Amino acid sequence: MQAESLSFVHRFEPGDAGLPPVLLLHGTGGDEADLLPLGRAVAPGAPLLSPRGAVSENGAPRFFRRLAEGVFDEDDLRRRTDDLADFVAAARSRYGLEAPLALGFSNGANIAAATLLQRPETLAGAVLIRPMVPFATPPRPDLAGKPVLILSGAMDPIVPVENARRLAGQLEAGGAAVTHRMLPAGHGLSQAEIGLAAAWIAALPAPAAA
Ligand code: MLT
């Protein structure tokens, strides 16, 4: 069962068992190697679990299908969210991990947001870089006390500011402790926010991160 559930191609880097593990979720066209340097930079010494999205969009790996840019195939998203949550559960058991903190960029941030909404027990919290609302009608999960950092770009051509604010509101409605930073940036990751994410993770209270 475990071998079947560990169906995502992935990389695992062991780390300090006293630190919350980090689940790295790449953007469209990335892979399991992509965010390892970012993970090492924002959570030094933490165990890193990095799957490759199982959907191929003209050869570009993604975590779920989309109908157009910013228009999601929500049936597929729901199924892929369950697949990812099951993978994380199996990987935790195989590698002896606490519930991870997700660190997702773009498409990876979107499936991390979907996981918080649909399978909240999977994650201890999340850093969402350039996420958008994943579900037209979101589930109403219990996210009490889960820390979430959202890093949005004020000039993002893919994610309207209003959409990112709506996602923050949906997570807050479930009780998540959301910090939403609107940065003078587009859709791409900027150097400044690596420091912001690192400082936010370092300041997490131990029980919330466990
Ligand atoms: C998505 O499809 O998840 C978003 O449009 C972000 C992207 O991957 O470009």
Closest alpha carbon to 106 in 47, 176, 179, 30: 30
- How far does the centroid of ligand 1 lie from the alpha carbon of residue 17, in Å? 33
Cα radius of gyration rounded to whole Å, the chain:
15
The one catalytic residue in 10, 31, 82, 187 is 187
Q: Which helix (H) or strand (E) holds 28?
A: none
Under 8 Å between Cβ of 177 and 147: yes
* CA distances, 178 to each of 126, 145, 147 (Å): 10, 9, 6
Which ligand 1 atom lies nearest to the CA of residue 111?
3
Residues with CB under 6 A from ligand 1: 27-28, 66, 69-70, 106-107, 110, 158
Per-residue pLDDT of the chain (210 residues; tens, 9 = 90+): 334 448 899 999 999 989 999 999 999 999 999 999 999 999 999 999 999 999 999 999 999 999 999 999 999 999 999 999 999 999 999 999 999 999 999 999 999 999 999 999 999 999 999 999 999 999 999 999 999 999 999 999 999 999 999 999 999 999 999 999 999 999 999 888 899 999 999 999 864 444
Tokens linked to 32: 């399991």
- How far does the centroid of ligand 1 lie from the alpha carbon of residue 8, in Å? 20
The one catalytic residue in 34, 156, 180, 190 is 156
pTM given for the model: 0.95
Which ligand 1 atom lies nearest to the CA of residue 69?
5
Domain residue spans of the chain: 2-202
When the candidates are 3.40.50.300, 3.40.50.10860, 3.55.50.30, 3.40.50.1820, the CATH number that belongs to 2-202 is: 3.40.50.1820
Q: How many CB atoms lie within 10 A of CB 2?
A: 10
Distance CA 159, CA 190 (A): 16
For 134-166, letters b (16+ CB in 10 Å) and e give: bbeebeebebeebbbbbbbbeebeebeeeebee
Closest alpha carbon to 196 in 183, 206, 185: 183
Write the residue with the smallest CA distance to atom 5 of ligand 1.
70
For ligand 1, pick from 35, 64, 69 the residue to mutate: most ligand atoms within 8 Å of CB.
69
